[in-house]
Amino acid sequence: MTNTLTTDTARLPMLLTQLRLPTIARLWQALTETADRESWPAAKTLAALMEHEIAERARRRTARHLLEARLPVGKTLDRFDFTAVTSISKARVTALAEGDSWLDQGTNILLFGPPGVGKSHLAAALGHAMVDAGYRVLFTRTTDLVQQLQTARQELKLASAIEKLDKYHLLVLDDLSYVQKSQAETSVIFELISARYERRSILITANQPFGAWDAIFPDPAMTVAAIDRLVHHSIILEMNTDSYRRKSAEMKLRRKPIGPTAKTTLNEPSPTTVVS
pLDDT in tens, 66-116: 999 999 999 999 999 999 888 899 999 999 999 889 999 999 999 999 998
The arrangement of strands across the sheet holding 234-238 comes to: 137-141, 170-174, 201-206, 108-112, 234-238
Please check whether residues 81 and 58 belong to one and the same domain: no
Domain presence at residue 257: no
User: How many domains does the chain fold into?
Assistant: 2
Rounded Cα distance, 122 and 241, in Å: 14
**Mean per-residue pLDDT, 121-129:** 97
What is the DSSP secondary structure assignment for residue 270, as one 8-state letter?
P
Instruction: Classify residue 35 as left (phi > 0), alpha (psi -120 to 50) or beta.
Output: alpha
pLDDT in tens, 128-141: 999 999 999 999 99
Please check whether residues 86 and 63 belong to one and the same domain: no
Helix, coil or strand: residue 88: coil
Helix, coil or strand: residue 174: strand
For the chain, give the percent of residues with pLDDT over 70: 83
Domain presence at residue 173: yes
Domain presence at residue 263: no
Per-residue pLDDT for 3 more than 60? no
What is the structure's pLDDT at 256?
Answer: 56
CA-based nearest residue to 215, from 190, 181, 184: 181
- Range of lowest pLDDT (36-50, 61-75, 180-194): 180-194
pTM: 0.77
Domain that holds residue 58: 2-67
Please check whether residues 197 and 167 belong to one and the same domain: yes
Helix, coil or strand: residue 243: coil
Domain presence at residue 266: no
What is the structure's pLDDT at 187?
Answer: 87
For the chain, give the percent of residues with pLDDT over 90: 64
Domain presence at residue 271: no
